[in-house]
Amino acid sequence: MQTNLMLDNGVNRELPIVLLIDDDLVSREVTATILIMEGYTVHTAENGQASLNLLAGGECVPEVILMDAQMPGLSGAELIAALRAHTHASLFLVSGSNPPPDVVAAADGFLLKPFDSHAVTKLIQGRPVANAPTHLDSEEPIISLPVLAQLRQMMPEKAVRQIYTAIASDLVLRIEALGIAISRGDLAEVRRIGHAIKGGSGMAGAMQLAAIGARLESVSLESRGNRSDNSAALLRELRAAALALQSMLEAELPA
């Protein structure tokens, strides 16, 4: 299926068809938008099984596959092997954290989120890309103004607002799920949610949210029940940041 955020920017038939697999809505929308604005035809799938169904149905015959390295269900090296059995497309990993070495080795390349259009184009073309970790500071503005300016240059104002509205809506669900995970002491789920927040928010320049997500992702599984587990405090920070994002959205990008 095509991405939900469709932009009429003109397809370059000389560019390879791309299948993007990412369970995080925000990351999926932003990455697809970057590629569409560069002239690529983009199909998206929200998880590994959906991507295999898409390939099996013949709806998509990609020349390039971009897949998140960490997704619920079928993922990682197992998903790569299944995709290889269905297609001869080049297969690249995109992730907010460094994947395990065996997963990286199974793919044709790896790109660390957040990334810009130049980096993803280099990846697709098989050129070297530098994967330098992004410094995440929770004291930064709720939205990076340079990233916001870049998005405004790439797409209509309505599409920019749609991206940040998607982040705000997604956060409502993430915060609810995070509260449940914390109450159950399920720190593995806390880390998974943090990883998702970090990746999606980072791609859209919501660096304060990405920083909180990174701290949630780093909560130690060994800290269960200990005072060193600060996930509850991070949940409070996340709620405050979500409110700040909503206020910014109403002021900077009114409907």
Tens digit of each residue's pLDDT (9 = 90 or more) over 191-247: 989 988 988 888 888 988 999 998 998 886 545 555 446 888 899 999 999 999 999
Structure token pair of residue 95: 């992730």
The reported pLDDT for the residue numbered 228 is: 46
- pLDDT at residue 11 is higher than 70: no
The gap from C-alpha 75 to its chain's centroid, in whole angstroms, comes to: 15
- Mean pLDDT within 137-163: 81
Give me the chain's average pLDDT, please.
85
- Predicted confidence band of residue 143 (pLDDT cuts 50, 70, 90): confident
The reported pLDDT for the residue numbered 137 is: 59
The reported pLDDT for the residue numbered 4 is: 43
204 closest CA partner among 148, 158, 153, 157 = 148
Q: What is the pLDDT of residues 245-254, one digit of tens each?
A: 999 888 888 8
CA pair distance 200, 197, nearest whole angstrom: 6
Angle between helices 25-37 and 187-203 (to 10 degrees): 20
- Of 221 and 70, the structure prediction assigns the larger pLDDT to 70
The reported pLDDT for the residue numbered 5 is: 45
Peptide bond between residue 72 and the one before it cis (omega within 30 degrees of 0): no
pTM given for the model: 0.81
- Of 2 and 24, the structure prediction assigns the larger pLDDT to 24
Q: What is the pLDDT of residues 36-64, one digit of tens each?
A: 888 899 999 999 999 999 999 888 899 99
150 closest CA partner among 95, 204, 211 = 204
- Of 7 and 23, the structure prediction assigns the larger pLDDT to 23
Query: Averaging pLDDT over each range in 172-176, 184-188, 199-203, which range is the top one?
Result: 172-176
Measured CA angle at 21 (ends 185, 138), to 5 deg:
50
**What is the chain's length?**
255
Measured CA angle at 19 (ends 191, 39), to 5 deg:
115
Domains recognised in the chain with CATH numbers: 18-124 (3.40.50.2300), 145-252 (1.20.120.160)
- Mean pLDDT within 165-189: 92
Q: What is the pLDDT of residues 91-137, one digit of tens each?
A: 999 988 888 999 999 999 999 888 877 888 888 888 877 776 565 65
- Mean pLDDT within 71-88: 93
The reported pLDDT for the residue numbered 153 is: 83
94 closest CA partner among 56, 44, 142, 145 = 44
CA dist list (Å): 25 to 89, 94, 156, 179, 209: 23, 14, 19, 20, 15
- pLDDT at residue 178 is higher than 90: yes
Structure token pair of residue 211: 């920083």
216 closest CA partner among 97, 116, 133, 132 = 97
